[in-house]
A and B are shown apart, each in its own frame.
Chain A
């Protein structure tokens, strides 16, 4: 393409970065947010701000609670509490999707429904499917972003010959273009392994979606047949006859726990509930291991007899390591913070790369009268800082909307999502209208929203920092502290950008004055 291999990859790096940049930032930012998805859920769903002391919850008692709910379509599942999700919950399918009922882990009292999608149902699906479910378009777009991330990482290394020199080169340059490139290179080298690992493991999770050619050839066109063999899933057909009462679930859980060397259960699922073929699937907790192993036990619901124990195949086990690496469901707070920090660094990498494109072309394009830079600058402001602002607006909306609120037919949880997208769209318009000022103003808005979120949390739930820290509510306290740190960082950035702008203007005025004298 270009005269040399390196120049060709530079071309690829530049254009793939500019075209995929906004999508890539969205995926990286939401992924970073989801490192603390459960903690954000606690903050956004105040009725679940509980503390779980580790006492096992009786599956039989949960079943009794489930029987009080209106009849549901099978299968349905009960999920056991843990440190990050300190409540038991029952998940069932509805005609329109799926729903959850929360129970406090001690008395199994039914908690009020969540009137928000919070992080686990809004940011998490946004991260992997963009909430575009038709024909899996969202999944494919995110997959494209993942491949682009791999290509950008590899091409980035190849085009930077002085990679180890760059590692130590962070010049505090006054020239924005140079400073952006230094920041981009430093963020790129520091987190390189993480970005590649996340992009690759993310792709591997949806391998069966991205490479249908494989299971079409190997499994006669049946994706289900592949999953059944890979995960050693068990199923038996319904008999269309009424079921005998369910035997003791606790006894089944105990048998499975013993076989897992004491690993607590994560989930108990009843398949074909109400049919004579009903059976129970028990899965172990995934908190203790990096690999996201499922390894379920299957029991006959009526007799409690063991029907099947799944064993993981060697390569599936490898796949589960990749999945576990990406999902971060293991219990390790230090590692979780490292994921969060590297995620922020990756977001910075993408944002600075994007901005560098504009900065390095601004003068030439302005001289040539091209509008491309202006367009990309607005796009950059909206798709990076704007997304951060939208995220914060989502949190603020969560604390401001009253319970049961509806507007134009939208339920409360939908209103929060509308606020998110409306705020995001507004930042694009802002970026195009207030060119030059957009970044400074977006930083001030982000700082104000983050501080407002903390304040509103204290006012609406009483969970201010002094109380949450004293009570050991680290999910809520941590969220507040990160919001405050973010507010401070945004304010400092806004202040410095403003000062630099003034200094730059004065400098230019001085230079112009000087030229005026000399001419």
Chain B
């Protein structure tokens, strides 16, 4: 039962459908949320290296699309839905925390 989260595993039709829905949500929404949080973090972090704030955001946003793409492709292939959601949630929370702390003046 190593493949418990794959569609090919013996499971009810309802459960299989739920997994597809979760998978699609991870690809479309989860990967976007993680990339958006990382864009916010990079926008607040890059100015510490001497980059202007506007340049920091322009650059981060352009790279954000590539991060979204990479995460989305990985989300389609990663077997474990649990690992998928843990990684995406950590990136989102981590990025948002960094951005909030710096933007809020805590760092």
How many Å lie between the Cα of A237 and that of B51 in the bound state?
Answer: 29
How many Å lie between the Cα of A429 and that of B8 in the bound state?
Answer: 37
Let me know if A5 is at the binding interface, CB within 8 A.
Answer: yes
Determine if B55 and A217 form an interchain contact, defined as CB atoms under 8 angstroms apart: no
Per-residue A-contact encoding for B33-66, CB less than 8 Å = 1, 0 else: 0011101111110010001111111111110110
Per-residue B-contact encoding for A1-19, CB less than 8 Å = 1, 0 else: 1110100110110000000
Total residues of chain B contacting the partner, CB 8 A: 42
When C-beta atoms are compared, the residue in chain A nearest to B42 turns out to be A214
List A133-188 residues whose CB lies under 8 Å from chain B: 144, 147, 150-151, 154-155
Determine if B37 and A213 form an interchain contact, defined as CB atoms under 8 angstroms apart: yes
Let me know if A472 is at the binding interface, CB within 8 A.
Answer: no
Closest Cβ–Cβ distance, residue B104 to chain A (whole Å) = 9
Let me know if A99 is at the binding interface, CB within 8 A.
Answer: no
Determine if A213 and B40 form an interchain contact, defined as CB atoms under 8 angstroms apart: yes
Q: Kindly list chain B residues whose C-beta atoms are within 8 Å of the C-beta of A318.
A: 58-59, 62
Closest Cβ–Cβ distance, residue B59 to chain A (whole Å) = 5
Closest Cβ–Cβ distance, residue A144 to chain B (whole Å) = 8
- Interface range on chain A (Cβ under 8 Å from partner): 35 or more
How many Å lie between the Cα of A211 and that of B23 in the bound state?
Answer: 23
Closest Cβ–Cβ distance, residue B34 to chain A (whole Å) = 11
Q: Kindly list chain A residues whose C-beta atoms are within 8 Å of the C-beta of B102.
A: 217
Determine if A204 and B73 form an interchain contact, defined as CB atoms under 8 angstroms apart: no
Q: Kindly list chain B residues whose C-beta atoms are within 8 Å of the C-beta of A314.
A: 55
Determine if B54 and A214 form an interchain contact, defined as CB atoms under 8 angstroms apart: no
Let me know if B77 is at the binding interface, CB within 8 A.
Answer: yes
How many Å lie between the Cα of A3 and that of B79 in the bound state?
Answer: 8
Determine if B54 and A147 form an interchain contact, defined as CB atoms under 8 angstroms apart: no
**Contact partner of A203 among B51, B65, B77, CB < 8 A?**
B65
Among A30-38, A218-226, A263-271, which stretch is in contact with chain B? A218-226
Report if A147-B103 is in contact (Cβ < 8 Å); known contacts: A313-B52, A316-B54. Answer: no
Q: Kindly list chain B residues whose C-beta atoms are within 8 Å of the C-beta of A91.
A: none
Let me know if B69 is at the binding interface, CB within 8 A.
Answer: yes
**Contact partner of B103 among A144, A220, A226, A230, CB < 8 A?**
A220
Per-residue A-contact encoding for B72-83, CB less than 8 Å = 1, 0 else: 110011110000
When C-beta atoms are compared, the residue in chain A nearest to B81 turns out to be A1
Q: Kindly list chain A residues whose C-beta atoms are within 8 Å of the C-beta of B72.
A: 147, 151
Interface residues of A, Cβ cutoff 8 Å to B: 1-3, 5, 8-9, 11-12, 144, 147, 150-151, 154-155, 200, 203-204, 207-208, 210-211, 213-220, 226, 229-230, 313-316, 318-319, 322
> 10 smallest A-B Cβ distances: which pairs?
A207-B61, A315-B55, A8-B77, A230-B54, A229-B54, A217-B99, A217-B40, A218-B43, A213-B40, A12-B76
What 8 additional pairs, Cβ within 8 angstroms, besides A211-B39, A211-B60? A154-B69, A207-B62, A213-B37, A218-B56, A314-B55, A315-B54, A318-B62, A319-B58
